[in-house]
Structure 1
Amino acid sequence: GLAGLLGSGRSALARVVAGIEPAVSGEIRIKGTRVAVRRPADAVAHRIALVPEARATQGIIPAHSVADNMVMSVIGRIAPKGFVDRVRVRDIAEDMIARLSIKTASRDHAVSTLSGGNQQKVVIGKWLATEPEILILDEPTAGIDIGSKAEIIRLVRDLAQAGKGVIVISSELSELLTACDRILVMADGRAHQMLDRADLDDPEERDPEHALQAAERRLQIEIQKALTIKEASHG
């Protein structure tokens, strides 16, 4: 998970890893091997996928069908000679609709007819179709219903359990604490501290709700520490 206040550099870091923005410094390593990611095609080649924060403008084409949105990321695979294989489109769309429990009357319905939560699932499904090893989710539950939020958090845990790398950016600390094993606190475009999720728990707190609230307070303290260090360095 990536935690920090607005402007801390969380989304910028995601865009760098996805090849949308150039890296100013540092390097990207996948399973210990340094890789060059200078453009989105490089990221896709290394099986990195980004689900952007701006769903409506960067994630979907609202007037197009659920199926067409689902296969945008794999168009080269389903149309290798310039002609779209509609059977493969159907298979990919139906698989993702079932896998993500997308509520739609038909795969041929426009994405604009779906609820916000189901639109977000379409965006996630589009990138899962690429079979990524690393999935970056930027504010994945913003503006969606509680049921869809729970399903997306469950998907994150399932992907991690299957050995995938998942990076979650969220302004909701409870969401990061529920979804993530480690949380990187950022400020001013820099990494402040990497925290193990378990270290934020109070071993003496037995009530799950109180335990989560206590962990949120500890994480909030770390975010404030990062901000203080940033201000001190600028002062």
Structure 2
Amino acid sequence: MLPSNDPTSPAVRLASVTKTYGRGSGAFTALREVSLDVPRGVFTAVMGPSGSGKSTFLHCAAGLDRVTSGTVRLGDTDLTGMDETRLTELRRERVGFVFQAFNLVPALTVLQNITLPLRLAGSRVDRAWTDEIVERVGLAGRTGHRPGALSGGQQQRVAIARALVTRPEVVFADEPTGALDTVTAREILALLREAVDGMGRTVVMVTHDPVAAAHADTVLFLADGRIVDSLDAPDADRIAARMTTLGAHA
């Protein structure tokens, strides 16, 4: 499954995306006619009140959930209508994921966890690239450990390395610092920033934390399933102030 060869096309494009759960009187619409281009090589944060549609946005954009209407593209590839086998291949080969809960395999070593997406895809492990990733995320000397022997911050470093090892077009991060202390969270955010600035990746991060969002190039604000505003080159105070007014829409 080949990525887009056009560097000017968006990394991710949503066009009139609506996502509704359930049917009839019990139906709930989490996203409403969302249209958005996410540029390549940019760190984008997504914020909004509880229930605003942040996680649904990420799941739909990443191909983890199917939209009710509209289209989602990764590069030039239309995810809409793909069967589950093709979506799984696309996520494995072209997308990286970082979650709050780390989602590591306890029985595998750090190195085995990092290279798992390559092995599942039947791809050759590029040892030089893997070593570089391990070095960049600060895990040199720990590749033989299992997750249970690591701190939470170290486990999240493993998850970031695993997300980057396939050289993905986009890394989607869902509350990646939610389970970490302030100092460790700052280190993890610096790693995501480095993935953009030093490695040319595209990062889309959902977060509730204005300080975390301030590491991004652009912050998108969701309310009632719609993108209602954005801030470029944001700082935490401006983000927090905007979130205060969004609360009225929750």
Length-normalised TM-score, structure 2: 0.69
> For the residues of structure 1 that align with 2:218 and 2:186, how far apart are their CA atoms?
19
Shift of 1:194: 3.3
Structure 2's unaligned 5+ residue stretches are 1-44
Residue 196 of structure 1: aligned partner: 231
Deviating 4+ runs (over 6 angstroms) = none
> For the residues of structure 1 that align with 2:56 and 2:46, how far apart are their CA atoms?
11
> For the residues of structure 2 that align with 1:25 and 1:222, how far apart are their CA atoms?
29
RMSD: 2.6
- Structure with the higher strand share, 1 or 2: 2
Residues 138-217 of structure 1 correspond to what in structure 2 (within 5 A)?
A: 138-161=174-197, 162-176=199-213, 178-188=214-224, 190-198=225-233, 212-213=236-237, 215-217=238-240
Residues 134 and 165 in structure 1, CA contact (< 8 A), matched pair in contact too = yes
Length-normalised TM-score, structure 1: 0.73
Question: Using a 3 Å threshold, how does the CA distance of structure 1 residues 173 and 40 change in structure 2: closer, same or farther?
Answer: farther
Task: Report whether the alignment pairs 1:133 with 2:188.
Answer: no
Residues 47 and 219 in structure 2, CA contact (< 8 A), matched pair in contact too = yes
Task: Report whether the alignment pairs 1:220 with 2:247.
Answer: no
Structure 1's unaligned 5+ residue stretches are 202-211, 228-235
Residues 1-235 of structure 1 correspond to what in structure 2 (within 5 A)?
A: 1-31=45-75, 33=76, 35-36=78-79, 38=82, 39-45=87-93, 47-55=94-102, 59-76=103-120, 88=125, 91=128, 93-102=130-139, 105-161=141-197, 162-176=199-213, 178-188=214-224, 190-198=225-233, 212-213=236-237, 215-227=238-250
Question: Using a 3 Å threshold, how does the CA distance of structure 1 residues 53 and 99 change in structure 2: closer, same or farther?
Answer: same
Shift of 1:93: 4.9
Count of residues in correspondence between the two structures: 200
1:16-52 per-position Cα deviation (integer Å, ceiling 9, x unaligned): 2222211112222345x3522643322344x222212
> For the residues of structure 2 that align with 1:159 and 1:222, how far apart are their CA atoms?
32
> For the residues of structure 2 that align with 1:193 and 1:20, how far apart are their CA atoms?
24
Residues 49 and 243 in structure 2, CA contact (< 8 A), matched pair in contact too = no
- Structure with the higher helix share, 1 or 2: 1
Give me the identity figure in percent.
Answer: 25
Residues 156 and 188 in structure 2, CA contact (< 8 A), matched pair in contact too = no
